[in-house]
Amino acid sequence: MQAPTLLISKELPSLKYTYAPDRFDETWEAPLSILLGLGRAAGADFIEFFLERVNYISCMAEDDAITSISPRLSTGAGVRVFRGKADCYVSTNDLSFNGLKAALEKGLSIMGLHLPSPNAFIPEIHLELLRDYATKKGKDAWLGNCSSMREMGDVLLSANGELAQKADHVQSRRAVYFRDWQEVLVASSDGTFARDIRLAQSVGYSLLCADGTNRSSISKRSGSTSDPSFLRTWDYKADAEDVSGSAAKMLYADYVESGSYPVIMANQFGGVIFHEACGHLLETTQIERKTTPFADKKGQKIAHENLTAWDEGITSDAFGTIDMDDEGMPAQRTLLIENGVLKNFISDRAGSVRTGHPRTGSGRRQGFTFAAASRMRNTYIAPGEYSIEDLFNSVEKGIYCKKMGGGSVGPTGQFNFAVDEAYLIENGKITKPLKGATLIGEATEIMDKISMCSNDLGLAAGFCGSVSGSIYVTVGQPHIKVDSITVGGR
């Protein structure tokens, strides 16, 4: 290994670097490598800079008017300082050299360290040649190719008009779109120097129907991470049909009777159950906090032998797909569970340092105000060998959860999920719609009760909130059968 070059701090360049204002590029190499060197000279074991620029816009149509077009522009940076297994994170809006140096100095002081004196030797950090996923994959033109404000308005008004035609007993109609363009640059003292552009877009409906005291509210969203033409190609007619059909069925639905039932969960967003009940508990963040029952179960059976599950960042255009994570590591495909046996955890840098589990390209964050943490990407249960009919035929009396709402998992592994659209199953057949259902259980118990997986894997876009903010993810699964679960109702 080559010995690092040493500079003397008083001989450092003028420290008045300027950077290209419209792009994170190679001009950042010199100032960032000097700052990283200063941090290492101060005694930090590892330093990372994360620079971010965001160009966000949202648009909303209510009934037959555009009621909101809301752009947001943001730039900022965060510096993470590790000393042993402890770390600190400092964020700032100030991307000037002195602004970043001040953030570094604050981070060092929090860790009990100080910038080196004028005569100190500074190790020069050799950053890799800029690993530029944005340029390599033609992403630099994405922003300019997205829909204009006028096009956003036109599409959403047409979509809302379609919903008015399709739905009955409408109290309010909303069509909502957002585009979140993000440019990131990561530089760290291990030589990482990488740039990427992300383009998350989402569009969907929210429909409220009312007839006397009967009410139903149904939402549906879809998402994209790589298609500037996403809004132009939105099949709003199909979604309007779907949403209005669900709202009509749920408008006069009875409340579900609470109790324990076998449950069949639909594919696509039904995967939120695995995301909440198991996925979060496989993040190294949970191991660090000692809040997962699976911490010491690697290599052991934690689920039914018919269950295999993945977390990955590489499926084309899925909502959790990333070329690199927010620590500059390329995305991977991570086998979580194979035939019921726990194979891997989801790990970021801090998780790797503190738990020993290798990084999986899963260090993610909402933006520069958050330190990266181990987070899911596209997470799903693999397809099984059964048909959907096999699943229904195995249920004498149970619940079919067609559309799931949100859910959460508590610090002791208890989870709950709202069901937006549910039906009673009697003798293998759907008989009537039900509302007000909540699925409740324990992560360690439910995993062994997922006994049948059909062969119709489907993915759905989702939003996940956790320690490093709200991020874009995919949940997914085929239709699955849970042998028994507590259903909260009236």
Partner 1 sequence: MPTINEIASYAQTAAQKLGIQKFDIYGSTVDETSVQVDQGEPQQMKASNRSGITVRVWNDAHTVGVTSTTDVDPIGLQLALKTAHEASAFGVKDNVPDFSPEATAAIAHANATDRSPQAEVSQLLQTLVGAEKELLEAHPAIVGVPYNGLAQRDIDRFYLNSVGALRHEAHSYASLYLYTKTEEEGRKPRSAGAFRVSTGLAKLDINGCLKEAAEKTISHLNYEKVKTGKYRVVFSPEAFLSLLGAFSNLYNAQSILDNQSLSTPESLNTQIASPLLSVCDDALHPDNVGAETFDGEGTPTRRVPLITNGVLTSFLHSAGTAKRMNTEPTGNANMGAKVTVSPNFFHVFPGESASEEYSLDTADNVILIDDLSALHAGVQALQGSFSLPFDGWLIKDGKRISIESATVAGDIREVLNSIIYVEKDLEFTGSGVAPRVWVNELSVTGE
Residues 294-333 that bind partner 1 (CB under 8 A): none
Measured CA to CA, the distance from residue 304 to residue 340 in angstroms comes to: 5
Applying CB under 8 A, which of residues 9, 17, 29, 75 lies at the interface with partner 1? Answer: 75
CB-CB contact of 438 with 489 (8 Å): yes
Least separation, in Å, of the C-beta of 484 and partner 1?
A: 12
Q: Scan residues 333-372 and list those touching partner 1 (CB under 8 A).
A: 350, 369, 371
Measured CA to CA, the distance from residue 290 to residue 342 in angstroms comes to: 17
Region from 2-10, 83-91, 227-235, 356-364 binding partner 1, contact rule CB under 8 A: 83-91
Applying CB under 8 A, which of residues 136, 140, 406, 426 lies at the interface with partner 1? Answer: 406
For position 416 contacting partner 1 by CB under 8 A, the verdict is yes
Residue 124 is given by DSSP the state P
Instruction: Give CA separation, 75 vs 238, 327, 381, 454, in Å.
Output: 38, 18, 37, 45
- Dihedrals φ, ψ of 428, to 5°? 80, 0
Applying CB under 8 A, which of residues 248, 278, 337, 418 lies at the interface with partner 1? Answer: 418
Measured CA to CA, the distance from residue 114 to residue 335 in angstroms comes to: 42
Measured CA to CA, the distance from residue 222 to residue 381 in angstroms comes to: 19
65 burial class (0-12, 13-18, 19+ CB within 10 angstroms)?
A: exposed
Measured CA to CA, the distance from residue 2 to residue 424 in angstroms comes to: 69
For position 290 contacting partner 1 by CB under 8 A, the verdict is yes
Least separation, in Å, of the C-beta of 64 and partner 1?
A: 11
Least separation, in Å, of the C-beta of 276 and partner 1?
A: 9
Least separation, in Å, of the C-beta of 84 and partner 1?
A: 9
Q: Scan residues 97-126 and list those touching partner 1 (CB under 8 A).
A: 106-107, 109-112
Applying CB under 8 A, which of residues 171, 393, 427, 470 lies at the interface with partner 1? Answer: 171
Site string for partner 1, 422-451 (x = CB under 8 A): -------------xxxx-x-x---------
Applying CB under 8 A, which of residues 1, 3, 73, 129 lies at the interface with partner 1? Answer: 73
For position 288 contacting partner 1 by CB under 8 A, the verdict is yes
Q: What angle do CA 221, 225, 226 make, to 5 degrees?
A: 130
For position 72 contacting partner 1 by CB under 8 A, the verdict is yes
Applying CB under 8 A, which of residues 208, 314, 335, 388 lies at the interface with partner 1? Answer: 208
For position 417 contacting partner 1 by CB under 8 A, the verdict is yes
Measured CA to CA, the distance from residue 226 to residue 80 in angstroms comes to: 29
Total residues contacting partner 1 by CB under 8 A comes to: 73
83 burial class (0-12, 13-18, 19+ CB within 10 angstroms)?
A: middle
The closest of 143, 138, 147, 124 to 33, measured between CA atoms, is: 124
For position 158 contacting partner 1 by CB under 8 A, the verdict is no
CB nearer to partner 1: pick between 104 and 480: 104
CB nearer to partner 1: pick between 260 and 339: 260
For position 181 contacting partner 1 by CB under 8 A, the verdict is no
Pairing of strands 378-381, 469-477: parallel
CB-CB contact of 39 with 114 (8 Å): no
CB nearer to partner 1: pick between 243 and 437: 437
Task: Give the distance, in angstroms, between the CA of residue 216 and the centroid of all CA atoms in the same chain.
Answer: 28
For position 70 contacting partner 1 by CB under 8 A, the verdict is yes
Applying CB under 8 A, which of residues 30, 88, 143, 164 lies at the interface with partner 1? Answer: 88
Q: Scan residues 244-283 and list those touching partner 1 (CB under 8 A).
A: 255, 258-259
